[in-house]
């Protein structure tokens, strides 16, 4: 018996009825009508096919379609197909990892067929100069803080990094030395031309020196009087290296010239020359104009006499303004130099690169002087924690043997060529 295409409802019904034994196939629609086929219809019993059709050509069979895809796009279910029920989505992945679409939670886990969000993700890049956040699509984000933001004792942010800031001292002349009463080794006053350079904004701290020591590039600064009290009263408690934990931001002290040089080499710099140190402390002629020789100040902050708001010294109250120790670097901003360099008077005396010669000023070159070659001593500048007011003058200079580290009041800062 032959049936025609206009009897498609009969064909369709026949095929679907037979296919009820396989729910993993798709029923025909009006678009599935075909040309004349055998009325003797049967179905394919394949549990994993998706589209059954009447086969053209008169073979009388219902042809199996492609495999059905059972996928509910849920990673927390097990997807399968049953011949009777069709697609089955079972809760079978409890405890498995999943993604809930929020990149700011972790770890996400499957529970009862759903992806359960984990705890809020901790976004911390351990950088004091970035603002940490989290975007649901991207995950952890960082944003650099504004340059100049304080990020630690004596440290500022620069291009997203927390650094010991360096001060640029411009090229040009300044007046160096001192004449008159009390001038001592500091005379005569003379004009010096320097190239531009960078210098540490603050003295080298214990924490910075420790980084060099931990890297194996600096030796332990013990000081001569580590195990006894000196005639000057120095004792182990006065040396910050083995001092209390709160001394990390105090200046390193008890270091000799060789140790100071090793540290500056470690950070890619060098010790400043005497001339560089003094210009950084007093300022250059670009600040004072035609009367530079007379307007260059005695002290880093100007003409006012020293006091404990400007410097850490013996102001008549005892060592360290009566506290008996150094203080954290950069702790007296009122005493900074015209260029913004801190602690150029007080806290610790600082090693410089030059050999120390008391007669050097009388014969030093007018441009970029580097010190005498006639002495075994090395220069030191700036007054220390136990200095009297007169010893804080920016022109004051002295020297000591390069291996001497016996004073609690001796530390350092570094310099670099200008970029």
Taking only the tens place, the pLDDT of each residue in 368-418 is 999 988 889 999 999 999 999 999 999 999 999 988 876 778 999 999 999
pLDDT, tens digit (0-9, with 9 covering 90-100), for 134-177: 999 999 999 998 887 878 755 778 888 888 789 999 999 999 99
pLDDT at 41 over 50: no
293: which DSSP letter?
Answer: H
Cα separation, 258 vs 407, whole angstroms: 15
Please give the pLDDT value at position 243: 76
| CA dihedral sign of residues 157, 160, 164, 166 | negative
The angle at the Cα of 272, spanning 270 to 278, to the nearest 5 degrees, equals 170
Give the Cβ contact number of residue 309 at 10 Å: 13
Mean pLDDT taken over the chain = 82
30 vs 264, residue with greater confidence = 264
Q: Helices marked H in 186-307 — which ranges?
A: 206-214, 257-266, 274-282, 285-288, 292-295
| Cβ pair 313, 388 in contact under 8 A | yes
DSSP label of 12: H
Distance (Å, whole) CA 275 – CA 174 = 9
Query: Coil, strand or helix: which one is 199?
Result: strand
Per-residue pLDDT reduced to its tens digit, 81-133? 988 888 988 887 888 889 888 999 999 999 988 999 999 999 998 888 999 99
- Predicted confidence band of residue 319 (pLDDT cuts 50, 70, 90): confident
149 three-state secondary structure: coil
pLDDT given for residue 50 in this prediction: 46
Give the chain's length: 419
Q: What is the pLDDT of residue 251?
A: 94
Looking at per-residue confidence, does 121 or 245 come out higher? 121
Beta bridge partners of 169: 197
> Has residue 27 got a pLDDT over 60?
no
Beta carbons within 8 Å of 286's beta carbon, 6+ residues apart: 170, 172
Paired tokens of 329: 């670097």
User: Bigger pLDDT: 152 or 317?
Assistant: 317
Quick one: pLDDT at residue 266? 94
- Exposure string of 81-99, with b = 16+ CB inside 10 Å and e = fewer, is beeeebeeeeeebeeeebe
pLDDT of the residue at 234: 52
When pLDDT is cut at 50, 70 and 90, the band that residue 11 belongs to is very low
Domain chopping of the chain, boundaries? 5-63, 78-120, 165-417
Q: What is the CA radius of gyration of the chain?
A: 41
CATH 3.40.50.970 fits 165-417, yes or no: no
Helix (H, G, I), strand (E, B) or coil at 306: coil
What is the structure's pLDDT at 246?
Answer: 83
């Amino acid at each position: 018996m032959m049936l025609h295409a206009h009897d498609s409802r009969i064909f369709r019904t026949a095929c679907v009825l037979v296919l009820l034994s396989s729910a993993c196939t798709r029923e025909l629609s009006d678009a599935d009508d075909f040309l004349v086929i055998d009325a003797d219809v049967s179905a394919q019993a394949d549990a994993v096919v998706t589209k059954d059709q009447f086969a053209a050509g008169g073979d009388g069979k219902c042809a199996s379609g492609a495999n059905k895809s059972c996928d509910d796009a849920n990673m927390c279910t097990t997807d399968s197909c049953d011949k009777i029920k069709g697609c089955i989505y079972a809760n079978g992945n409890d405890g498995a990892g999943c993604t809930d679409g929020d990149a700011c939670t972790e770890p996400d886990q499957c529970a009862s067929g759903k992806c359960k969000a984990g705890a809020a993700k901790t976004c911390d890049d351990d950088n004091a100069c970035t603002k940490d956040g989290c975007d649901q699509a991207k995950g952890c984000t960082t944003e650099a803080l504004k340059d100049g933001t304080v990020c630690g004792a004596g440290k500022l942010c620069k291009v997203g990094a927390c650094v010991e800031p360096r001060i640029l001292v411009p090229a040009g002349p300044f007046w160096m030395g001192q004449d008159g009463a009390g001038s001592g080794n500091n005379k005569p006053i003379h004009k010096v031309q320097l190239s531009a350079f960078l210098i540490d904004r603050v003295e080298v701290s214990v924490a910075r020196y420790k980084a060099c020591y931990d890297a194996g590039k600096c030796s332990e600064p013990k000081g001569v009087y580590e195990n006894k009290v000196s005639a000057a009263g120095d004792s182990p408690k006065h040396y910050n290296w083995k001092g209390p934990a709160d001394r990390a931001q105090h200046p390193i002290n008890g270091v000799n010239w060789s140790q100071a040089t090793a540290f500056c080499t470690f950070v890619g710099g060098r010790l400043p020359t005497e001339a560089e140190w003094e210009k950084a402390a007093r300022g250059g002629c670009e600040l004072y104009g035609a009367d530079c020789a007379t307007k260059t100040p005695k002290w880093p902050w100007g003409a006012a006499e020293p006091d404990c708001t400007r410097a850490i010294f013996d102001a008549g109250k005892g060592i360290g303004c009566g506290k008996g120790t150094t203080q954290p670097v950069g702790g007296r901003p009122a005493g900074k130099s015209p260029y913004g360099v801190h602690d150029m008077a007080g806290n610790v005396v600082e090693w410089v690169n030059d050999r120390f010669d008391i007669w050097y000023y009388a014969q030093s070159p007018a441009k970029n002087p580097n010190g005498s070659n006639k002495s075994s001593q090395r220069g030191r500048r700036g007054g220390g924690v136990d200095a009297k007011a007169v010893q804080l003058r920016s022109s004051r200079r002295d020297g000591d043997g390069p291996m001497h580290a016996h004073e609690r009041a001796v530390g350092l800062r570094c310099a670099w060529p200008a970029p």
